[in-house]
Each structure stands twice: as C-alpha cells, then as structure tokens.
C-alpha cells in the first residue's frame, strides 16, 4: 500500500493479506495457483482421482469419503445402491466413513 501506512500490528497483517488464503494440502511444495476444493466433477478437472500435481495428497476429499461426498454432494455418478428404494439401510453401520467404511457390505438384489 502506497497511500495508507500500517501503524499497529493488526494493520501490518492487513497489509500483508494480499496472499491467497485458500491453500491445498501440499501447499509448501506446490506452485501457487488455483485450488479447486469442490465441484470437481462438474468441470472435469483433476481433483477426484488425482490432484493437480498427479498425486493423491491434495485430493478434494479423502478417498474413503467419495461414496458420500462425491455421489451425494457433487453428483458424481458413483456405483452405489439405490438408497431411496432398495437399500435404505446400506450405510447404517457407517457412522464415520474414514473409520467405518469396511462395514459397508455388498448388496444382493
């Protein structure tokens, strides 16, 4: 800032606030650039299988949560049972996907 001079500590932080504040998990190694945290399937950019560097550390969701967040929240056409009609209790035992994903069983029609 040229015309406004920071005086107190908060103002100094405000003056340095030009840097983008949304960063990916691999932030220290990554070159600066846009991080796309959600909505990956609608714009066909990496984010689901691999992150923007080709690795898996910066995925928009932990892989175990794909079932829930990708097919429910993001309209990702994941292969899941019909939970409205045929298998309403399919994920009943899966309270936290990261921990309980093994409890999700196979569905027999």
Please report whether residue 79 would count as binding other proteins according to CB under 8 A.
no
Among the candidate windows 9-17, 25-33, 38-46, 90-98, which touches other proteins by CB under 8 A?
9-17
Element (H or E) spanning 15, and its range? helix 9-15
Interface segment toward other proteins; rule CB under 8 A; list 5-13, 19-27, 61-69, 71-79: 5-13
Does the footprint of other proteins cover residue 102 (CB under 8 A)? no
Q: How far apart are alpha carbons 38 and 60 in whole angstroms?
A: 6
Cβ 62 to other proteins shortest distance, Å: 21
Active site residue 51: no
Q: Tell me the torsion sign for CA atoms 109, 70, 40, 60.
A: negative
Name the catalytic one among 51, 66, 82, 105: 66
Should residue 92 be labelled a site residue for other proteins when binding is judged by CB under 8 A? no
Contacts of 35 (CB under 8 A, 6+ apart): 22, 23, 24, 52, 58
State which of positions 14-33 bind other proteins (CB under 8 A): 14
- Distance separating alpha carbons of residues 75 and 40, to the nearest angstrom: 10
Active site residues: 66
């Amino acid at each position: 800032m040229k015309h406004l001079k920071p005086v107190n500590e908060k103002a100094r932080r405000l003056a340095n606030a030009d840097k983008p504040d949304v960063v990916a998990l691999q932030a220290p190694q990554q070159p600066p650039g846009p991080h796309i945290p959600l909505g990956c399937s609608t714009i066909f950019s990496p984010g689901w299988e691999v992150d923007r560097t080709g690795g898996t550390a910066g995925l928009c969701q932990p892989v175990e949560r794909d079932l829930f967040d990708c097919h429910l929240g993001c309209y990702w056409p994941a292969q899941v049972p019909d939970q409205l009609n045929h298998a309403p209790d399919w994920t009943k035992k899966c309270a936290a996907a990261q921990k309980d994903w093994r409890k999700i069983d196979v569905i027999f029609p």
